[in-house]
Structure 1
Amino acid sequence: MPTSRLGGSGLRLAYDRRVVADDLTVTVPDRSFTVIIGPNACGKSTLLRALSRLLKPAEGAVLLDGTDIHRRPARAVARTLGLLPQSPIAPDGIGVAELVARGRYPHQGLLRQWSRSDERIVAESMAATGVADLADRLVDELSGGQRQRVWLAMALAQQTPLLLLDEPTTYLDIAHQIEVLDLCARLHEEQGRTLVAVLHDLNHAARYATHLIAMRDGRVVAAGEPRQIVTAALVEEVFGLPCRVIEDPETGTPLVVPAARTRAGTVTR
């Protein structure tokens, strides 16, 4: 088994009495770019919420560095694990630079106040996500894609070894989707960060992930390297989509090609 700083065992995840997943066990390999895939309402975002300490399991435990994540102080967790939630909401009237700077709050304290190092990290995070020229703008004035990149900059400014991203390409056009995913890949490859992301696009997941977790109906159907687990049979089992899986001519990773449908609605293979 790969080494892991983050994972969950025997998880029952529920909202009130509605159980989303039961007896769920997952392992996030250390220094991996792990992507969780699956159809809508399969439990992807719920699992990410549990891994990030936002949702306490009804049963089982999420372990961070071998300790139940809910037994660790919130500020200590925030210095180790960062989160970009789905559709975050910024306070009214907040500026871009101020919002990104909030990523440094877990590192502040009585004995450590704002420093030049914090200022540099905020500037580098905005430059990396292409929002440096928006520093003096209000977040409310930005487009959906611009806001998403500002939130990603805030997550980067937190400078945690583990970073969780819930649909980080939401609201972005295809060019900016690739930019964000390329940035995530660089964080993983060059800085050794462990990333966990929920993505809807299976081909993006197969191209960028080093480790995939495929879910359906609150359970893990398969987990492993994309080249090992992404097959036509898996895609049909998880998504109900007849397809072919070929080699991506750019990267050599699996590329899912949906089966063609005739006008009568039948599938051709």
Structure 2
Amino acid sequence: MTGTNLPTPRLRAEDLTLSYDQRTVAAHLGVDIPDHSFTVIIGPNACGKSTLLKALARMLRPRHGRVLLDGAAISSYRSREVARRIGLLPQTSTAPGGITVGDLVARGRYPHQGMLRQWSAEDEAAVVEAMRQTGVLELADRPVDDLSGGQRQRVWLSMVLAQQTPLLLLDEPTTFLDIAHQVDVLDLCAELHARKGHTVVAVLHDLNQACRYATHLIVMRPGGTIAAQGAPADVMTAELVEDVFGLPCRIIDDPETGTPLMVPAAPRRFAPEDPEDPEDPEDTEDTEDTGDGAPAAATDAVMAEPR
């Protein structure tokens, strides 16, 4: 049990140390992914966010510790069984040359195929629904190679949705997207979480998007350790942002959602003037009263004026 009345989450990590070759990226990570949550992992560049996500998806074997899926070590499952429970959208993906959008999305149904189960009407419906949700249904017959970066990202997300897994792991799902499509994709993820019960785990760079959409935050420090975990309203503070990112800021309420909104501190040249600040001593010196009612600077100007 992770709490007095809380069941053990389906996906969790215990004391993970993650490495590439001999280089340790993250150490002693203990992470619980709350069931039916929209969990967002944030942190500075190269802190191990994507590495942690890969370990949770069994794409990277931990050097130490373990990932648990439904109470068992994820390493104990067959690959097809993991793919029926966890859908992963990696940071970068390469499609086979010449493949169409519809055929690529259909590959998301691979975990559900087998010797005794071939392509069915259920598979076809899942593919069509996934493309409809991401707005790429009209592109079904187009080669993936002909699409823009943003369109391709939505197609890859469609393929993950076609898997119809209860757990969705998304590594920077808004990559290559303009701001309007970023919001569209994150709105879709929020809908999958809220209305369809999916547990969504996403790596994001934008702190304000993370706070707006997440129900649970995992904040990683440089060096690959956990700085904080919890609800955005409980976790996101100005002290945390400055400690983890080295960025002075203010945290205010988002006027649209009431979630924490991070506002970076302005450079001094942009800071509003404070009317209560005392006058600059140098300014006071320049306007010193000369005794005849005229400031010294004005008197000097009159004296210097040619007659």
Alignment of 1:220-259 (within 5 A): 220-259=226-265
The two structures, once aligned, show a CA RMSD in angstroms of 1.6
Aligned to 2:32: 27
Query: After superposition, what is the alpha-carbon deviation per residue over 1:109-166, rounded to whole angstroms, capped at 9, x for unaligned?
Result: 1111100111011001001000011100011110000000000000000000000000
Alignment of 1:169-248 (within 5 A): 169-216=174-221, 217-248=223-254
CA distance in 2, matches of 1:92, 1:238: 42
- CA offset at residue 22 of structure 1? 1.3
Aligned to 1:88: 93
Match for residue 154 of structure 1 among 150, 153, 159: 159
Q: RCO greater where, 1 or 2, for CA within 8 Å and sep 6 or more?
A: 1
CA distance in 2, matches of 1:177, 1:171: 9
CA distance in 2, matches of 1:109, 1:100: 18
Q: Which has the higher strand share?
A: 1
Aligned to 1:17: 22
CA distance in 2, matches of 1:87, 1:187: 22
Which structure would you say has the larger Rg?
Answer: 2
Q: Does residue 69 in structure 1 map to residue 69 in structure 2?
A: no
- Work out the percentage of aligned pairs sharing the same amino acid: 67
CA distance in 2, matches of 1:22, 1:201: 24
CA distance in 2, matches of 1:10, 1:260: 39
Alignment of 1:96-175 (within 5 A): 96-175=101-180
TM-score using structure 2 length: 0.85
CA distance in 2, matches of 1:56, 1:141: 35
Q: Which ranges in structure 1 are unaligned for 5 or more consecutive residues?
A: none
CA distance in 2, matches of 1:25, 1:88: 28
TM-score using structure 1 length: 0.97
- CA offset at residue 91 of structure 1? 1.1
Aligned to 1:78: 83
**Secondary structure of the equivalent of 2:14?**
strand
CA distance in 2, matches of 1:165, 1:149: 12
Query: After superposition, what is the alpha-carbon deviation per residue over 1:154-192, rounded to whole angstroms, capped at 9, x for unaligned?
Result: 000000000000000000000000000000000000110
- CA offset at residue 251 of structure 1? 0.3
